[in-house]
Structure 1
């Protein structure tokens, strides 16, 4: 099988790993553990999985798309799909630290990044009966907002998006959110327009949760 070529490329203000993936090469397999996401800059990537013994294609990605992002959101994230190049492609490898650094340098893109994460998570996890560490996944997602200074988000939209993303019920997501409220890490209330909101109180929500766990 042909080898992938690997090089460092200047992206934004930091050095990120760029991989060239030849047609038909697998980037990652369903069921394996993952510690990075990928940004497709050139080519075409198929995201698929096995359902009831048969292959099902969840999405065919074109530039610019992010995939494999479950690894950035969940602890011990197991790949819920297989990613394979449909044509010669180029991807940027994004670790958790890479993503946080990029968002710190470019805070204006945070909403777009979260939207992409949620959208892609929906398409690649619908087949799952459940996703492990849902509570921590919720914390990690909220943490992406908090550490970048986005301290107020709409309640209903957030609950629905997280429920869809982690393949669970809105009630379960609400229980996690209210648990965080009980710990004084966030407040559930209403804004001046009487829209229900979540107001985050900690700028490093994940660290606070882990500290309190210990």
Structure 2
């Protein structure tokens, strides 16, 4: 199938900020598996197919309809390699969301903070472990905590956070807890309880990503 790559770009007001809007014609590629990713996309009109190559054969992971977010793992992982291909099945419109855009939107809309990881989970649950394996679980966890701290969210409920991250990174809760306790041992996090005696994770280092990188040097 011949894929046309030309896209029409315009600016559109979304919420209280300006975000890049792309018109994607039917059969156009939004991004290809194995390419470098630096943005996520929100589908507002049309239909997008998410697929990948498994053992030499194409496998369709999901058919997205509005409103859906895709390509979001690029916002959390430094490796940023696309683990799937996104193609428009019909004329579509997508909002381009960079990491800076997401942080701004989260500051403006606190509900997004609670929903963004849930979006990651629902996406990854529709794929196979092999197709959507994460290059660096530890770094991914750090980047998620870093994003929350940047947006001023310094306390997270322990159990749902651990379970959600385990689902997102296709691993066990024990493995996630090992990373979290490791960060706590470094003084970047603390584990405690809130006023309702609910177990929580407190982010102690606001610039967590930079702090972790410095400790590695």
The verdict on a shared fold, with TM-score over 0.5 as the criterion, is yes
Contact 1:128–1:167 under 8 Å retained in 2: no
2-structure distance, mates of 1:140, 1:187: 17
Give the SS at the match of 1:17. strand
2:69 paired with 1:66: yes
Provide the residue aligned with 1:21 in structure 2. Answer: 24
Q: Which residue of 1 aligns with 2:176?
A: 173
**Cross-structure match for 1:155:** 158
Deviations 1:120-164 (A, max 9, x none): 244356334742121110011122222222222222222222122
Q: CA RMSD in A?
A: 2.0
Runs of 5+ consecutive residues of structure 1 not aligned to the other structure: none
Partner SS for 2:146: helix
Query: Which runs of structure 2 are paired with 1:100-111 in the superposition (5 Å)?
Result: 100-111=103-114
SS at match of 2:170: coil
Tell me if structure 2 keeps the 8 A contact 1:80–1:124. no
Aligned residues of 1:73 and 1:141 also touching (Cα < 8 A): yes
Q: Is the 8 A contact 2:5 2:29 kept in 1?
A: no
Return the alpha-carbon distance in structure 1 between the equivalents of residues 108 and 196 of structure 2: 32
- The aligned counterpart of 1:31 is 34
Task: Please tell me whether residue 213 in structure 1 is matched to residue 211 in structure 2.
Answer: no
Moved >6 Å (runs of 4+)? none
In 2: Cα distance, 1:125 partner to 1:69 partner = 17
What's 2:45 paired with? 42
- The number of residue pairs the alignment matches comes to 214
TM normalised by structure 2 equals: 0.89
Asked whether the 8 Å contact 1:125–1:165 carries over to 2, the reply is no
Q: TM-score, normalised by structure 1?
A: 0.90
CA distance in 2, matches of 1:123, 1:28: 19
